[in-house]
Amino acid sequence: MIFNDDSLQDIRFNGDVDKVITNGLTIVPPYLRGFVGDGSAYILLSSAIALAGDFEIRVVIKPTKAVGATDCIIFGNAANTMFFRIASNNKAQFNFGTYYEVTLTESFENNVSANLIVKRIGENLYIYKNGALVGTKFIGGTSRDLDMLIFKGGAPNVYWGVMTDFRVYDSTGTLTHQYLLNETEGTTAADNIGVIDGTVINPYVGVWAKTDIRESFVINPTITKLLLASDMHLDFWDEVEGEGGLTSAQRFDLFVEKANEEVPHIVVILADTNVNDITLPQGNDRMPATKAKLDNLTMPYKWVHGSHEFYNDEQWMSLLGYPKNYSFTVRDYAFIVIDTYGDYETINPNSGYGYKEVDQTWLAAELNKYTDKQGIFILAHYVNSSIDTLTRTLLLTHSNFKGIFFGHVHNETVWTIDDKPWIMCGHWSVVEGGSWDNDKPWSFRILELDDLGNAKTYIIRPAHEYPTSSQVRTVVDVRAII
């Protein structure tokens, strides 16, 4: 896994080869063989596929002709309570109980093949073209049934063009249905994974067609985006912080606003959000108020325990519903969260709770759970490489261990330890009693992962104005590739 700006390369190919193999993954050949829609043909499934909870639909399309409003109807149901289409005005239009539309940042073109992905995570719908996120919209949690590939509602709700490799994934990322649509004849669309076959209605002559794509056909992998933030230090909840001109609460609201603008799939808070006051662990409890602000994020989030989260194990579980040591997965990647701060006997007036070594038995069991994953990342407030030598040795016994992301040091540097990246994730705090840090203004880190095992990570310093006692400092949006 390479962490640099060139790691996410388009997979491009031309010519008449039968297949291309890259990174062990077989990619479709340079022609597109599939179902041909002529404005009246569509595929009716034998029963409905329930789109409940999170789901993902992938399909390769090549629209070739405009009909009516030039809308490209991709899927829907006979009850007309759900559909998805790419509209001629560079919008995606869809119905999941309520009609929505969103302007896409990149259009789908006639006679150009594209990999379309429609994904729901939580209550948001995400739309990708060739692996790049081009639109998102809040849709709520309504469930709907899918029983048509190419929605056939009232005219002109039809499709002209080629469609192939229609896939449905469930909330765990498991492929549950796949319609290759590459038969050479007949009117059956076979489900290669599940048991819900489809029938071609009003078939076009030569409905299964091998159509040569002489242009470069680009298939980019799906990108999963994580936002990693650390060290808010909400010291002055209702008071102006030194030169900052903002209260801690206002500063944290700004973080939530900027995080929502990035539209990651998940946010991970790498600790030190709570008050920097070790003398009042119970009497100055801002953890519930901090959680209430995090709940304003429009995507799921996770919280890591650190040196300034003054909660014992029971309090932590009661507030968040998960322990201080835990793990989670995003598609084919695993993230193991380790708690390294809980030595209550060695509290430091400046850095809070004392450092404790990682639970080796627990970590070994977690690593063994994810041997089949493409990559494993460690997330922590901090890992002391000099103290936790056993952890370093244990991690290196797993070939799919990729690196560590952490906070604590209010920096954006990347260390290389044991030939693995140990990556700092910036900070969102005031420093030295509220003074402005010109070298390291507020920032967070983005991690992008694709299905081919590549990664890209970079720091974002979102554009904002920072009022001080004498002036307003404007920070320009900086995206630093590391």
List, for residues 72-97, the tens digit of each pLDDT value. 778 888 888 888 888 767 788 888 88
Helices (H) and strands (E) in the chain, counts: 5, 34
pLDDT of residue 455: 85
Name the least confident of 52-56, 82-86, 299-303, 463-467.
463-467
pLDDT tens digit sequence for 149-173 = 876 554 445 677 778 888 998 887 7
Residue 363's pLDDT band (boundaries 50, 70, 90)?
Answer: very high
User: Is pLDDT of 59 > 70?
Assistant: yes
Tell me the CATH class for 223-481: alpha beta
Neighbouring residues of 218: CB distance < 8 A, sequence distance ≥ 6: 10, 11, 12, 130
pLDDT of residue 123: 84
User: Is pLDDT of 20 > 60?
Assistant: no
pLDDT tens digit sequence for 273-286 = 875 444 444 446 77
User: Is pLDDT of 239 > 70?
Assistant: no
Concatenated DSSP letters of 72-86: EEEEE-TTSSEEEEE
* Phi/psi of residue 345, nearest 5 degrees: -85, -15
Amino acid at 248: S
Strand 375-380 relative to strand 333-338, pairing = parallel
Higher pLDDT, 346 or 450: 450
3-state SS, residue 213: coil
Q: Among candidates 267, 266, 234, which has minimal Cα distance to 252?
A: 234
Residue 434's pLDDT band (boundaries 50, 70, 90)?
Answer: very low
Neighbouring residues of 314: CB distance < 8 A, sequence distance ≥ 6: none
Task: State how far the Cα of 444 lies from the Cα of 226, in Å rounded to an integer.
Answer: 11
Structure tokens that stand for 340 in this block: 């390294």
pLDDT of residue 339: 93
Mean per-residue pLDDT of the chain: 76
pLDDT of residue 212: 36
Average pLDDT for 27-56: 74
Concatenated DSSP letters of 454-472: -EEEEEEE--EEEE-SS-E
Higher pLDDT, 114 or 11: 114
| CATH number for domain 20-212, candidates 2.30.40.10, 2.60.120.200, 2.160.10.10, 3.10.420.10 | 2.60.120.200
Residues 225-251 as b or e (16 or more Cβ within 10 Å = b) = bbbbbbbbbbbbbeeebbbbbbbbbeb
Residues, the chain: 482
pLDDT of residue 264: 87
User: Is pLDDT of 259 > 70?
Assistant: yes
User: Is pLDDT of 270 > 50?
Assistant: yes
- DSSP element (H, E) containing 49: strand 42-51
Q: For the chain, where do the domains classified as CATH 3.60.21.10 start and end?
A: 223-481
pLDDT of residue 21: 34
Task: State how far the Cα of 113 lies from the Cα of 60, in Å rounded to an integer.
Answer: 7
pLDDT of residue 280: 47
Q: Tell me how far CA of residue 258 lies from CA of 231, 251, 469, in angstroms.
A: 16, 11, 24
The neighbouring-strand residues paired with 448 are: 225, 456
DSSP at 63: E
Q: For the chain, where do the domains classified as CATH 2.60.120.200 start and end?
A: 20-212
Q: Tell me how far CA of residue 34 lies from CA of 93, 162, 181, 182, 183, in angstroms.
A: 24, 6, 5, 5, 7
Average pLDDT for 344-352: 56
